[in-house]
Amino acid sequence: MCIAIMKSENKKINKTTLQRCYDANPDGAGFMFAEDKELHVQKGYFTFKEFYKAYKPHEDKQVLLHFRIKTHGKIDKTNCHPFLVNNGLGFIHNGIISGYGDDKESDTIAFNNSILKKIVAKHGNIGLFEDPMVELIENVIGYSKLVFLDRHGNYRIMNEEKGHWNNGVWYSNNSYKKPEPVMNKYYNWDKFNKFNRNTLPSPVSSSDCKHREGDWIVCTEEYIHGKGDKSHVVKKGEWFEVEQIKGKKAIIVDGDYTSPFVLKNVPLSVIDKWEDAETYSWNKSFDF
């Protein structure tokens, strides 16, 4: 999953929201800001306390923030975001870039080394952000989002429309939000005495639902989506990003396609969170 954040100057993100971002994406946090014509990168925080202590003095500045969940690469400081393309340009990434990364190196590092650094070395920072190059990169990264910041404080978000702005802050997904309670079909009968047994009680909210918008999930069993010629077979082990949850169903996006493939009304019973699914023996055979 991960979450990438672009915070404008003099806009604050409250501590509770940052804690929520960290709790949902606990495999390393980092941030970057431009000051005195230099980029300052601080990363490799593996507790919220150490992250917040480092970030607090800079909370009024224009800052890129990133909270990671491991997909490719080890859980270590090296694989934490942000990353530098060169001394004057850095970036953060949310998503998975298909075809890059391995057990040691994240897909973000591999894409930076193989593509971004080479483009900038040949065409300069400006060349990276010319319209044809932006269109080409956005087509390659699919549903991923890249947020760039240079040493002068200029920023650019690739696939910006796939995230959203909220009070001067751009978020790549909804994992910063407080999850809304899911209504369960089961009832709390303990609240009703014997004189009310003929009265249908109101449903109570359930804490059972572990899925949230912005989660990376995998399919735990083969699932046929749609009917007839429009049907699509979702294979066991395929991964997706949750876009929206409605009751016991979800809208999910297959980030492995350069043109995102959207599946609607997918039962929550056939998907599981990425980190939970990693424990399944069948998942070990997949090269993520």
| 60 and 153 co-located in one domain | yes
pLDDT at 210: 62
| 53 and 166 co-located in one domain | yes
User: How many CB atoms neighbour CB 42 within 10 A?
Assistant: 17
Q: Is residue 204 part of a domain?
A: no
Last residue of a domain, one of 147, 171, 195: 171
| 156 and 254 co-located in one domain | no
Give the CATH number for residue 259: 2.30.30
End-to-end C-alpha distance for the chain, whole angstroms: 13
Q: Is residue 188 part of a domain?
A: no
Q: Is residue 203 part of a domain?
A: no
| 139 and 12 co-located in one domain | yes
Nearest in space to 46 (alpha carbons), one of 67, 72, 27: 27
- What domain range includes position 250? 209-285
Q: Specify whether the backbone of 239 is left (phi greater than 0), alpha (psi in -120 to 50) or beta.
A: beta
Last residue of a domain, one of 155, 171, 187: 171
| 255 and 112 co-located in one domain | no
Contact indicator for 220, 277 with CB cutoff of 8 Å? yes
pLDDT at 233: 79
| 113 and 238 co-located in one domain | no
Last residue of a domain, one of 154, 171, 188: 171
Contact indicator for 58, 6 with CB cutoff of 8 Å? no
- Count structural domains, the chain: 2
pLDDT tens over the chain, length 288 residues: 699 999 999 999 999 999 999 998 999 999 999 999 999 999 999 999 999 999 999 999 999 999 999 888 899 999 999 999 999 999 999 998 988 988 889 999 999 999 999 999 999 999 999 999 999 999 999 889 999 999 999 999 999 999 999 999 999 998 898 765 444 433 343 443 443 444 433 333 334 456 677 777 778 878 787 776 667 777 777 777 787 787 788 888 765 444 567 788 888 888 876 544 433 333 333 332
Q: Is residue 200 part of a domain?
A: no
Instruction: Name the E strands within 17-141.
Output: 29-35, 38-45, 63-67, 83-86, 89-94
Q: Is residue 251 part of a domain?
A: yes
pTM of the model: 0.68
pLDDT at 231: 72
Contact indicator for 145, 163 with CB cutoff of 8 Å? yes
Give the CATH number for residue 54: 3.60.20.10
Contact indicator for 96, 258 with CB cutoff of 8 Å? no
| 167 and 275 co-located in one domain | no
